[in-house]
């Protein structure tokens, strides 16, 4: 098995983990608030970051080994992730799995916009056209002004913006800094951020049963290992090889939503989802074209 094929398989496994996490969130939302679930996810999600450090042989009990110059930025990324998850989990409580997944794919649009605003990146007509098309696809799915529109539909887009910001800011770190170290900072900051966001906005209820406790643990591990798998995949193969497979998450979300929750939001998703996918692939194509 070639390195690229192995990386693709691990990448697909990562997106499956994210969608399984979403299924857990939908089930648990009947008894727990999004703030509670975000806290559980991020606190328990520190465990995979520690396991990643063990795998990369970077785990140390000397605090000096974890010092980096831009630690504030590393923690800031974690806070963005905590906010993104809260928005994402809130949307999952009310919207179909596939709808949330499709709207979340707008992160490619925000990656371009953030790169332009904060890094002065030059963007040509192709990528601007892709941004407009992708935004149009998101609006088509949301259907503002219709009886089907709810403000909850804007939450996955807000989550996509936060995730995009956390991704783009990675370029600010020196290439010599380990991905595992950056992930440790982000996971700890996300846990602290989730706790802060939950404080004063919700009352924590006791975990109602052992099955709920196992679901919460499973949810957290799915999300945490999804990140670990994704990081591993992108370290083994070029982004141009892996990026198109992010849309696999829409398919698995659609399938899981159909099987578990009997959801078939075809009329809501199409043709907007096609425009979002076309937008993302166009942005990817131009990125790779500019590198050559």
Picking from 80, 24, 9, the residue whose alpha carbon sits closest to that of residue 220 is: 24
Q: Model-level pTM?
A: 0.83
- With bands split at pLDDT 50, 70 and 90, how would you rate the model's confidence at 49? confident
Residue of 12, 226, 249, 236 whose CA lies nearest to 107: 249
Output Rg (C-alpha) for the chain, integer angstroms. 19
pLDDT digits (tens, 9 = 90+) for 105-127: 887 778 778 878 777 777 777 77
Q: Distance between alpha carbon 160 and the CA centroid of its chain, in Å?
A: 7
**What pLDDT, in 10s, does the model give residues 140-152?**
777 765 555 677 8
In which band, very low, low, confident or very high, does the pLDDT at 209 lie, cut at 50, 70 and 90? very high
Torsions phi, psi for 75 (to 5 deg): -70, -35
Reading the block at residue 274, the tokens are: 């096609």
DSSP class of 94: T
| Alpha helix (H) residue ranges in the chain | 3-28, 34-44, 46-55, 71-92, 97-104, 107-119, 125-142, 155-168, 179-198, 210-236, 239-242, 248-261, 266-269, 272-291
Q: Is the pLDDT of residue 1 over 60?
A: no
């Amino acid at each position: 098995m070639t390195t690229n094929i192995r990386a693709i398989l691990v990448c697909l496994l990562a997106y499956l983990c994210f969608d399984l996490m979403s299924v857990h969130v939908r089930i648990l939302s009947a008894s727990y608030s999004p703030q509670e679930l975000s806290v559980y996810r991020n606190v328990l999600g520190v465990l995979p970051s520690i396991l990643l450090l063990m795998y990369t042989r970077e785990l140390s009990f000397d605090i000096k080994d974890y010092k980096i110059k831009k630690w504030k930025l590393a923690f800031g990324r974690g806070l963005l992730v905590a906010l993104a998850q809260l928005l994402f989990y809130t949307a999952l409580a009310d919207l179909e799995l596939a709808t949330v997944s499709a709207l979340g794919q707008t992160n490619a649009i925000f990656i371009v916009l953030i790169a332009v605003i904060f890094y002065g990146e030059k963007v040509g007509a192709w990528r601007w056209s892709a941004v407009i098309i992708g935004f149009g696809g998101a609006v088509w799915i949301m259907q503002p002004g219709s009886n089907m529109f709810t403000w909850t539909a804007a939450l996955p887009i807000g989550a996509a913006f936060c995730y995009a910001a956390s991704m783009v800011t990675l370029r600010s770190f020196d290439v010599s800094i380990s991905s595992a170290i950056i992930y440790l900072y982000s996971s700890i900051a996300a846990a602290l951020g989730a706790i802060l966001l939950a404080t004063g906005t919700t009352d924590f209820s006791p975990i109602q049963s052992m099955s709920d406790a196992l679901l919460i643990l499973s949810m957290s591990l799915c999300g945490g290992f999804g990140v670990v798998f994704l990081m591993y995949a992108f370290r083994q193969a070029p982004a141009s090889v892996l990026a198109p497979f992010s849309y696999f998450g829409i398919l698995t979300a659609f399938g899981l939503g159909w099987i578990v929750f009997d959801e078939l939001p075809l009329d809501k998703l199409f043709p907007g989802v096609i425009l979002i996918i076309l937008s993302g692939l166009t942005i990817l194509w131009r990125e790779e074209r500019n590198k050559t």
